[in-house]
Amino acid sequence: MIDLRLVRENPDLVRASQRRRGADESLVDALLAADVARREVVKRADDLRGEQKSASQAVKKASPDERPAVLDRARALAAEVKEAEEAQRAADATLREVHVRIPNVVADEVPPGGEDDAVTLRTVGEVPAYDFAVRDHIEIGERLGAIDMERGAKVSGSRFYFLTGPGALLEFALAQLAISRAVAAGFTPVIAPALVKPSAMEGTGFLGEHDEEVYRIERDDLYLVGTSEVALAGMHQNEVLDLSGGPRRYAGWSSCFRREAGSYGKDTRGIIRVHWFDKVEMFSFARPEDTAAEHLRLLAWEEEFLQALELPYRVVDIAAGDLGTSATRKYDIEAWFPTQGTYRELTSTSDCTTFQARRLNIRYRDDDGKARTAATLNGTLCAIARTIACLLEVHQRADGSVHVPVALRPWLGGVEALTPGMTLAAPVPPATA
């Protein structure tokens, strides 16, 4: 939810933001009208309640003679209050309905345009040249005994997979590398629930436009999260945080579930787009004035992680029309996929300012000791399945083996490469001095 005060004081700013997103500008006026209407009925209801309150005090003090008349008046007022409260409820609901439909206000620096208008900020790493016919990650994964799509489909349907042998170890290696780097950077590691209540899902904005993307457990009124962002944001719902020492950072590991309802025919091969994968997600609670800097920090950690994996990538600044509902700004990192001859999204980081925290009622104490709405940011550290796909493709060799980045070796028994037919020794972490 955006700040109502901002809409009252500077509606043009919000209108402009709507325009840049290609969203409905008239919502702003609908919101203003609903706000005025609500304040009117609130005032009427408050006043009536006040009158009724004194009338009901008078009942007690009234002499036996006066009593019937006083009681009549109190009864009449009670009826009016009831009616006014109903009007208030209706006005509140109308306001909220419009309010939640307006996405976060777009940051000034965001590039104009839509999906195809992202601006590449930088390209890092050499796109490798191969002197042999490159194989895609499925072919490589099958030869290594790392990925089994067929049996995934047999057990769970399309867009499901098994990670086996080196594939399974690779999953743990990536998770370990991601978490240990995050912990070293000061993040609190978290294993987050993958099933959440509707309030957490709503609060993070996933039930609006993403409703179709979300798995719902009807019977128990729970949702499967599409990202641990949902649980991490919900973790501090209705709390006042101490942010005096700087942002509070979590690195959450969880499984993620996505229906992929609108993506028939897209990425049907392999584990690039699947219904379930595991992910390590960074999440920050920050003071509103610190979010732009924090956003760049999250981006930097994402870049360092990909560099550790020796993957070539580019950083793109997402255009206004392609921003998520909660984001004021978003950077994606796209890594090189040789078989596709292009860069594909591997991570994404969004600055949500106070948009999520307002709905989730997450606050902090400012220097005056006043509780104010906090800001939230999120960023992918490692979306494991897709990262495995990228690693296998980029680091493949002519003989079907795959180079293992140095940073991952400690968790893969120290091997330099994954080779078809090899048996990996149990990974042993290096002794720490």
Partner RNA sequence: GGAGGCUUCGCCUAGUCCGGUCUAUGGCGCCGCACUGCUAAUGCGGUUUGGGUUAAUCCCCAUCCCGGGUUCAAAUCCCGGAGCCUCCGCCA
Q: What does the binding site for RNA look like in residue numbers (CB under 7 A)?
A: 39, 42-43, 45-47, 49-50, 52-53, 55-57, 59-60, 71, 74-75, 77-78, 81, 89, 363, 371
User: Shortest Cβ distance from residue 373 to RNA (Å)?
Assistant: 8
User: Shortest Cβ distance from residue 371 to RNA (Å)?
Assistant: 5
Active site residue 345: yes
Among 259, 345, 372, 409, the active-site one is: 345
Active site residue 181: no
49 or 403: CB nearest RNA: 49
Q: Give the C-alpha separation, 146 to 314, whole Å.
A: 27
Q: Give the C-alpha separation, 310 to 404, whole Å.
A: 9
25 or 85: CB nearest RNA: 85
DSSP per residue over 76-145, as a string?
Answer: HHHHHHHHHHHHHHHHHHHHHHHHTTSPPPPPTTSPSSSGGGPEEEEEESPPP--SSPPPPHHHHHHHHT
Q: Are 432 and 347 in contact (CB under 8 A)?
A: no
Among 135, 273, 358, 363, the active-site one is: 273
CA distances from 102 to 29, 95, 326, 353, 393 (A): 11, 11, 10, 14, 41
User: Shortest Cβ distance from residue 223 to RNA (Å)?
Assistant: 15
User: Shortest Cβ distance from residue 58 to RNA (Å)?
Assistant: 8
User: Shortest Cβ distance from residue 42 to RNA (Å)?
Assistant: 5
Q: What residues have CB less than 8 Å from 176, skipping those under 6 apart?
A: 411
Among 254, 284, 348, 401, the active-site one is: 348
Closest CA to 249 of 285, 290, 291, 301: 285
Q: Give the C-alpha separation, 254 to 232, whole Å.
A: 10
- Residue 103 C-alpha from the chain's centroid: 14
Active site residue 348: yes
Active site residue 386: yes
54 or 340: CB nearest RNA: 54
User: Shortest Cβ distance from residue 2 to RNA (Å)?
Assistant: 13
213 or 366: CB nearest RNA: 366
77 or 230: CB nearest RNA: 77
DSSP per residue over 259-297, as a string?
Answer: --TT-TTSS-STTSS-SEEEEEEEEEEE-GGGHHHHHHH
Active site residue 8: no
Residue in the structure block whose two tokens are 């999250």? 298
Range 140-159 burial, b when 16+ CB lie within 10 A, else e: bbbbbbbbbbeebeeeeeeb
Q: What residues have CB less than 8 Å from 337, skipping those under 6 apart?
A: 272, 343, 344, 389, 390, 393, 394
User: Shortest Cβ distance from residue 55 to RNA (Å)?
Assistant: 6
Q: What share of the chain is helix, strand, coil (3-state, %, to 5)?
A: 45, 20, 35
191 or 371: CB nearest RNA: 371
Give me the numbers of helices (H) and strands (E) for the chain, helices first please: 12, 18
Among 229, 386, 393, 401, the active-site one is: 386
85 or 317: CB nearest RNA: 85
> Hey, which residues are catalytic here?
258, 273, 345, 348, 386
